[in-house]
Structure 1
Amino acid sequence: MTGGHPGTDNLARPFAMAAGRAPDHPALVFGDQTVSYGAALELVCQAGAGVSGLSRGREPPRVALSLGNQAELPVLFLGIVAAGGIVGLLDPKWSAAQTAAALEILRPDLHLTAETAAGWIADQPADWRIPAVDPKTPFLVGFTSGTTGRPKAFIRSQGSWLATLEASRVEFGIGPDDIVLVPGPLVHGLGLYGAVEGLSAGATVRVQPKFDGTDAAAQLAECGVTTVVLVPTMLVGILDAAEREGHRFPALRHVVCSGAKLAPAVHDRLTALCPNAAVLEYYGASELSFVSLRSSREGAPADSVGRPFHGVELSLRDDDGNPVERGRRGTVWVRSGMLSDGYLGTTDRAGYREHNGWGTVGDYGWIDGEGWLRLVGRAGDMVITGGLNVYPAEVEATLRAHPAVAEAVVFGLPDPYWGDALSAVVWWRGTARASLADLRGWCQERLEAYKAPRRLFAASDMPLTGSGKIARADVRERAKAGGLEMVE
């Protein structure tokens, strides 16, 4: 059993090299279970041997994984990748119908679940060497929502993730001395990439079986965690727990966050609890990978998503595909070595598009004179109210900046006069409250008047998707059905 020779001819190679340098170093920590790099490499090689036996000639073998946060998931992922196979990530929380639809798209040679994964690995031989793999080889099929709600299966190549690892190494600087906490689900892109990034760098990766803000806060305070990778809702849960328990995080150096912008009040709380940490918010998409980065140490405007990520070029274009001047709005196009290979199977013809090496998912934004990128929304999310176009993301960011608002979701609700009445659901910050008139006035001072919500609802609980993001469709349906308090 060996990790192979030095080089980056296989996406699993950086992990194998780290294991060769420090086989006794802790690689994965799941609760009370710790797996060393040497032991993890042996399991990866066993998984690789098993996948190699599924070879379909010229076509890479496909393996579907329906696992939660358990030690076998990253081991299987790296083993499948090492063998040049394709991983299909299925969320075990999906309904039977969702799982069946994903399996129909993927058509795997092997489907492993939480009940079968460990036994399958144990049955494979360990005397296997990691081979070289063409960087164009597809290795990942991930599922993202289409505009119709039907899942889309995007494809990534090994070379695209090798480029992504290099870009994040430059921006995040994770190394063997780091301890990385990934509290979110590994079946979603943010958690999976955070774990693989840490293992490729030789760091120790700590994973929770299930997200728990109190436990995560304790790990940050007591386990020497230097980097945490998560979505905003999880970060707020951790900060709430830390303030209740009196925790501080002096060892924390990097807070890596994506999925939505952090509210200004969250930045203030982070400064108080972890004064030595840089807050690194990145904007990206499953199909594009990293696009831009806003670091708390670079002075980016609060309403921006930062500057282009390392290795990324940006182009803002009009509807005819022509570049627009700085300060003008356009569709955000991206060029980098990190782009996906598009979708697998039939789609709703919306979402990711590629042209001459540039890709877009339809986000609209503008770049100011200093090069900072601001987003205003995505084409499929646009609300037409009174014949005028409004992008919810722009209004949501304005509402979050209000002292009384902790979080906000904006959408259109059917209206006989406006067509769609611009509506907002807010979650209050502590005991603070505001009226509809207050928030309309706040928005009108900062945006065009027609972008001020005409209906306002308040919610106490926050429905989340499996990846920890706000379940926007659920929130809208509750408001539409009269299930939320209307604020006059």
Structure 2
Amino acid sequence: MNLVEPLLRYAVQQPGKVALSDGEEIRTYSALVQRMKQIAQGLQQNGLTQDKIAILSTNRIEFVEVFLGAIYAGCVPIPLDPKWSMSEVNAIVQQCQPKMIFTETRFVKNLILQDTEIKLLTFSAAEAGSYDDWLHAFMPEAEMDDTNELLFIGFTSGTTGTPKGYMRTHLSWIKSFEATSEAFQLDNMEHIIAPGPLVHSLSLFALMQSLTSGATFHMVQHFNAKEVLELCRQIPDAILFVVPTMIESMMQETIPGQTHIQALISSGGKWSEASKQRSKEVFGVAKIYEYYGSSEASYISYLDVHDEYKANSVGKPFSGVQISIRDEHFREVPTGIVGQLYIRSGMMFIGYHQLPEETSAVFRDGWLILGDYMYMDDDGYLYMAGRSKNMMVTGGLNVFPEEVESVLQQIPEIQEVMVLGVPDAYWGEQVTALVKWNSQQHLSIEEIKNYCRQYLASYKSPKQLITVDEFIYTSSGKLARQAMKDYVKRVMV
């Protein structure tokens, strides 16, 4: 089974329909499939079968062509993030050992190729040995290789540490595409926009969902709220796959009721209740969904934002996703009790690339352990207590920063907040809130404590506040917790 099979059908059934558009260039389904076969022919004639092909690139049509061509040839594409440091890029190249690397000229300086047999091609027509020169030597005659179950190796965005390579299969994404159609009840899937980097799973997934559905995928080079809103004005029935920070930016740039979007699908970070409520006013009749998932698990649960009665929930499980919430002895806990989340579905990844110990640590008897602590209510809705990797221990008691953040986010004076534990001789860790304020009016720590007492045990309330002008984000739009922790260490020295 090969994920690109539907593209072959669309090239025959709707050859002139636009598959990709970046605002300047387009690729019809016929042209895209021809280019895909041409790239596959080049790979196969170079003796590459089930080999790894790295792509170090921003959002561009050539990225998509190479990604599809590698899959069609039976090879394994590996998207590399241009925003990584030079050491991160080269460590991952060294680990993965790709036979070819496709990149942009400006990123070549970040590559230190110890293996001289790795072929390097740049997306520049003006250079010798460029992608275009290489491609024109081959005819689009390749036969599809569907013997490799591995679809691609992606890398986590590294919110708390070094990126890890997660391995996804063709079948896991095919199952995920089916879940999209079943859960989100979209009127049609004709135009899709995912304005984040294609090297990250949310946008890459949306791209492939679009192409395997016969839709048009509108590429955005870099996220800009005004530009995305203008694109939505031109394409009033679009479906957007976005992260909460993008939605916030878009809401600041548009007039309520003036943006015509079919659906907003949000993931990649917790979306505050206040922002969700505002989104319903701003985007009018658009369908608005939030889903909880990960690069490793794909879809887990989802929530219709127009369904108001489950505030702070991450929704109900997708069809086909089994949920088990367990204590430290791996026993299931009763409804309403917090425990660690285990999931099982046909959408899960198969492991971390060349990290057998890390892979073994997240699987138990076929269940995937996400490191998230949850509870489920009587109606089957899930609620996030926190992530184990973020958990603080203060006075011998466990505190999840996400729980405290969800309370602080309700305070009107707070625009954004992150909670972390700062080392303390007495408490072990002192609960500390980093706050970006909405205006010049700042609340005192006592006012914050008084508010929190209504919703939290006293030991969970912040003991100190640190004002920040801006937060640091990963390139996928998530809050970069480790970078913010490092910042706190510097300012508190």
Q: TM over 0.5: same fold? A: yes
Q: CA deviation at 1:87?
A: 1.2
Q: 1:173 to 1:17 in 2, by over 3 A?
A: farther
Instruction: Map 1:75-474 onto structure 2 (within 5 A).
Output: 75-115=65-105, 116-117=122-123, 118-119=131-132, 120-133=134-147, 137-144=149-156, 149-173=161-185, 178-243=190-255, 248-250=258-260, 252-299=261-308, 301-346=310-355, 349=358, 353-430=362-439, 433-474=442-483
Unaligned 5+ segments in structure 2 are 106-121, 124-130
Query: 2:54 aligns to what?
Result: 64
- Paired residue type of 2:141: D
Verify the 8 A CA contact 2:32 2:65 in the aligned structure 1.
yes
Rounded Cα–Cα distance in structure 2 between residues aligned with 1:452 and 1:105: 43
**Aligned-partner Cα distance in 1 for 2:160–2:29:** 43
Match in the other structure for 2:7: 15
Residues 1:277 and 1:430: Cα distance change in structure 2 (over 3 Å): farther
Seen in structure 2, the aligned counterparts of structure 1 residues 206 and 198 have a Cα distance that, compared at 3 Å, is same
Q: Give 3-state SS (helix, strand or coil) of 1:447's partner.
A: coil
Task: Report the Cα distance in structure 2 between the residues aligned to 1:19 and 1:456, rounded to whole angstroms.
Answer: 58
Q: 8 Å contact 1:18–1:37 — kept in the other structure?
A: yes
1:439 match: secondary structure:
helix
- Which segment drifts farther, 387-396 or 264-273? 264-273
Measure the CA separation in 2 of the matches of 1:231 and 1:29.
Answer: 21
Q: How many pairs does the alignment contain?
A: 469
Question: Which one-letter code corresponds to 2:437 in the other structure?
Answer: W
Contact 1:221 1:247 in 2 (8 A): no
CA 1:349–1:379 in 2, change beyond 3 Å: closer, same or farther? Answer: same
- Identity over aligned pairs, percent: 31
Q: 2:22 matched to which residue of 1?
A: 30
Any idea what SS the aligned residue of 2:314 has? coil
Q: Which amino acid aligns with 1:198?
A: S
CA deviation after TM superposition for structure 1 residue 69, in Å = 0.5
CA contact (8 A) 1:146 1:348 kept: no
Greater shift after overlay, 97-106 or 233-242?
Answer: 233-242
Query: Is the CA contact (8 Å cut-off) linking 2:192 and 2:216 kept in structure 1?
Result: yes
The answer to whether the 8 Å contact 1:148/1:348 transfers is: no
Aligned partners of 1:18 and 1:201 also within 8 Å = no
Going from structure 1 to structure 2, the CA distance change for 1:440 and 1:61 (only over 3 Å counts) comes to: same
Aligned pair in 2 of structure 1 residues 148, 248: CA closer, same or farther (>3 Å)? closer
Q: Measure the CA separation in 2 of the matches of 1:398 and 1:166.
A: 35
Structure 1 unaligned residues grouped into runs of 5+: 1-8
Distance of aligned partners of 1:430 and 1:147 in 2 relative to their CA distance in 1, 3 Å threshold: closer
Once residues 66 and 237 of structure 2 are traced to their aligned partners in structure 1, the CA distance between those partners, rounded to angstroms, is: 25
Tell me what 1:3 maps to.
none
The residue number in structure 2 matching 1:39 is 31
1:4 matched residue in structure 2: none
The answer for the alignment partner of 2:43 in structure 1 is 51
* Deviating more after overlay: 148-157 vs 306-315: 148-157
Distance 1:67 1:247, change over 3 A: farther
2:71 match: secondary structure:
helix
Distance 1:448 1:55 in 2: 63
Q: Is the 8 A contact 1:176 1:202 kept in 2?
A: no
Q: Is the alpha carbon distance of 1:365 and 1:54 closer, same or farther for their aligned partners in structure 2, counting shifts above 3 Å?
A: farther
TM-score of the pair, normalised by structure 1? 0.90
| Paired residue secondary structure (1:446) | coil
* 1:249 alignment partner AA: T
Q: TM-score, normalised by structure 2?
A: 0.89
* 46-55 vs 368-377, which moves further: 46-55
Q: 1:351, 1:121 → 2: CA distance?
A: 41
Residue 415 to residue 63, structure 1, CA distance change in 2 (3 Å): same
Provide the rounded CA distance (Å) in 1 between the counterparts of 2:81 and 2:208.
18
Residue pair 2:160, 2:481 contacting (<8 A) in 1 also? no
Distance 1:145 1:74, change over 3 A: closer
8 Å CA contact 1:294, 1:300 repeated in 2: no
- Checking the alignment, whether the CA contact within 8 Å between 2:157 and 2:474 is kept in structure 1 is no
> CA separation in 2, counterparts of 1:148 and 1:296?
29
- In the TM superposition, residue 412 of structure 1 has moved relative to its aligned partner by 0.6
* Matched AA of 1:11: L
| SS of the residue 1:481 aligns to | helix
- SS of 1:333's partner is strand
Equivalent position amino acid for 1:41 in 2: V
Report the CA distance between 1:300 and its aligned residue.
Answer: 5.2
What amino acid is the match of 1:373? L
Q: Tell me, what secondary structure is at the counterpart of 2:411? A: coil
Q: Displacement, 1:101?
A: 0.6
SS of match in other structure, 2:454: helix
| Matched position secondary structure for 2:164 | strand
Q: Mean alpha-carbon deviation: is it higher for 427-436 or for 399-408?
A: 427-436
**In the TM superposition, what is the alpha-carbon distance from 1:19 to its structure 2 partner?**
3.1
State the alpha-carbon separation in 2 of the partners of residues 298 and 195 from structure 1.
Answer: 28
SS in 2 for 1:79: helix
Deviation at 1:355, TM superposition (A): 2.1
Which amino acid counterpart does residue 234 of structure 2 have in structure 1?
A: E
What does residue 110 of structure 2 align with?
Answer: none
Counterpart secondary structure, 2:3? coil
Secondary structure of the corresponding residue to residue 312 of structure 2: coil
Take 2:160 and 2:229, find their aligned partners in 1: how far apart are those partners? Answer: 37
Does the CA-based 8 Å contact 2:160-2:480 persist in structure 1?
A: no
Contact 2:391 2:398 in 1 (8 A): yes
Q: Please report how far the alpha carbon of residue 438 of structure 1 lies from its aligned counterpart in structure 2 after TM superposition.
A: 2.3
Secondary structure of 1:407 counterpart: strand
1:189-212, Cα deviation, whole Å (9 max, x unpaired): 111111111111111111111111
Contact 1:351 1:362 in 2 (8 A): no
